[in-house]
Amino acid sequence: MKAKWFFACCTLVFAACDARTVETISATPECPLPPLETAALSPVQLVVDDLEDADTVGLKNGGLAGDWEFWNDGTLTPSFQASNQCAAVGKFALHIRSPGQKDWGASASLFFAPPKGRPLPFDSSAWNAISFYMALSPSDTVERNFGASVSTMETAWNGRCTSCVDNFSRQVWVTNRWQRYVLRFDDLKQQGWGKPQTTLKLNQLVQLHIALEKNFDVWIDQIQFERLNLTTDAEAP
């Protein structure tokens, strides 16, 4: 059984001038370790959610009107909050945890336009990547891969597909240290079981999706579209 258990609007900010330096809150033993490098964020970006509104309700502009949706298998209800205890950037981050789902687990999705029974598309043609910070809490000691993906109108649940959710994805290795993950759109692939098998159409993007499995205690922060210089920017994790 799928159960939607949280819905919130996200903060939307456009930045195309000075880069902002990462400020990390890791002052307590319950927080992830700070990044190994505190690199400046890309100066060309569209921030989808930075959690800085604290109550997860923020502005809607820049063509975005996104919502968080969290799903679980119905065996347990994971906890969630926009917390000021730990953060990768600024003062707040999203904290999600479960002591152990009994079936397929749980997932977190950030929609770029709020679905109204069916998904709605967002035109991300101006961008060639989406990035986010993620880390495990120190209490979650098993470093591991999580699936990170973006969906389109041809792969999103209840979209234009007959076998849905075979999104454009890759694995990200998550540890107890904050790390910035960059999903380059030209690197993302379907797994091969969905129908249709298609190409990633940037003018039809629906959501960022992170599969959280069964046992997890994770932090997520600073989700943003980016326009990378693919010939000079270093490969991100």
pLDDT mean over 66-72: 80
- Domain enclosing residue 87, as ranges: 3-226
Residue 230 is predicted with a pLDDT of 74
Q: Is 43 within a domain?
A: yes
Q: What is the CATH number of the domain that holds 74?
A: 2.60.120.430
Does residue 195 register a pLDDT over 90? yes
Q: For the whole model, what pTM was predicted?
A: 0.84
Q: Is 126 within a domain?
A: yes
Does residue 21 register a pLDDT over 50? no
Q: Is 235 within a domain?
A: no
Our count of domains for the chain comes to 1
Residue 181's nearest CA partner among 109, 237, 107, 108 is 237
Q: What is the DSSP string of the chain?
A: --EEEEEEE---EEE-SS--B---B--STTSPBPPSS-PBPPSSEEEEE--TTSSS-----TT---EEEEEE-SS---EEEEESS-BSSSS-EEEEEES--SSS-EEEEEESS--SSS---B--TT-SEEEEEEEE-TT----EEEEEEEEETTTSTTSS-SB----EEEEEEE-SB-EEEEEEGGG-B--S-SBS-----GGGEEEEEEEEESSEEEEEEEEEEE---TTTSPPP-
pLDDT mean over 116-133: 91
Does residue 99 register a pLDDT over 90? no
Percent of the chain with pLDDT over 70: 80
Q: Is 61 within a domain?
A: yes
Residue 68's nearest CA partner among 8, 12, 120 is 8
Q: Is 231 within a domain?
A: no
> CA 96, CA 215: separation in Å to the nearest integer?
11
Percent of the chain with pLDDT over 90: 50
Does residue 137 register a pLDDT over 90? yes
Q: Is 233 within a domain?
A: no
Residue 16 is predicted with a pLDDT of 35
Q: Is 236 within a domain?
A: no
**Degrees (nearest 5) of the Cα angle 81, 127, 70?**
25
Residue 40 is predicted with a pLDDT of 57
Q: Is 83 within a domain?
A: yes
* Ramachandran angles phi, psi of 203, nearest 5°: -85, 5
* Ramachandran angles phi, psi of 180, nearest 5°: -90, 125
pLDDT mean over 172-191: 96
CA distances from 211 to 109, 144, 225 (A): 9, 12, 20
Residue 15 is predicted with a pLDDT of 36
Which residue did the predictor score with more confidence, 234 or 29?
A: 29
Residue 78 is predicted with a pLDDT of 81
Residue 72 is predicted with a pLDDT of 77
Give the type of residue at 86: C
